[in-house]
Amino acid sequence: MTIPRAAKTLRRTRIQEEKEERILEAALDVFSAAGFRGSTIDQIAEAAGMSKPNLLYYFRTKEAIHRALIDRVLFTWLEPLRAFDAEGNPEAEIRSYIRRKLEMARDFPRESRLFANEILQGAPHIEDELKGPLKELVDEKAEVIRAWVRTGKIAKCDPYHLIFSIWATTQHYADFDVQVRAVLGQNHAGEGRFEDAARFLEQLFMNGLRPRQADTAA
């Protein structure tokens, strides 16, 4: 994980911590709107209300700021998947996962767009994490889903594409929020759209995953 320059001092002050957070909050606005390539240190400094030299005391480069944000986003974004419990009821676990992902789309839209921008650019800053810790976590949870299939608790399915589908459908509500609200119109584009989405996605996935007679007989 990237450590802010000021964090390397033996004793960080409350003011240092607050300024680091101010920089990261400002950078999240800038990066999520313009992407890494379209953002500059000057833009981040202006958004943070700081001088460029002051900002560079805390983070030496634009890359360091971006990496600190990406590390934070990856940890937060994967928390619902980490909570996927092999001992739990499959329907309850999948419903909970869908809802937690939608809650994150609602509560962390900037973080979702930051991550999406990084992936669209070929993941130049996080390729190692995608091929390492992320893959390991998805492999682990894919085996949980396979176990549910083997015991007839859910219908036969490809566990990786199930996870990808949940990612795609839930994060759509963050990454394409403007489109979602425009299409839904004024009467349906309020906060209730996330509950509507949750109910629909639960129905969609659970209807597709309920064991069928052919699955249980196989």
Those residues with Cβ within 8 angstroms of residue 59's Cβ, 6 or more apart along the chain or in another chain: 4, 5, 23, 65, 68
Residue 172, pLDDT above cutoff 60: yes
pLDDT of residue 91: 94
**Side chain identity at residue 181, one-letter code:** R
Across 196-200, average pLDDT? 96
Q: How confident is the model at residue 6 (pLDDT cuts 50, 70, 90)?
A: very low
Alpha helices in the chain (DSSP H): 14-34, 41-48, 52-58, 62-82, 90-107, 109-120, 127-129, 135-150, 159-175, 177-184, 192-209, 213-217
Give helix 135-150 / helix 62-82 axis angle, nearest 10°.
10
Give me the residue spans of the domains in the chain.
5-64, 70-213
Across 168-176, average pLDDT? 95
Cα-Cα end-to-end distance for the chain: 46
Question: pLDDT tens, 16-61?
Answer: 889 999 999 999 999 999 989 999 999 999 999 999 999 999 999 9
5-64 CATH fold? Arc Repressor Mutant, subunit A (1.10.10)
Helix (H, G, I), strand (E, B) or coil at 38: coil
> Is-contact 205 94, C-beta < 8 A?
yes
Range of lowest pLDDT (7-16, 65-74, 190-199):
7-16
Is the domain spanning 70-213 CATH 1.10.357.10? The answer is yes
Q: Is 218 exposed, middle or buried (0-12, 13-18, 19+ CB in 10 A)?
A: exposed
**Side chain identity at residue 209, one-letter code:** L
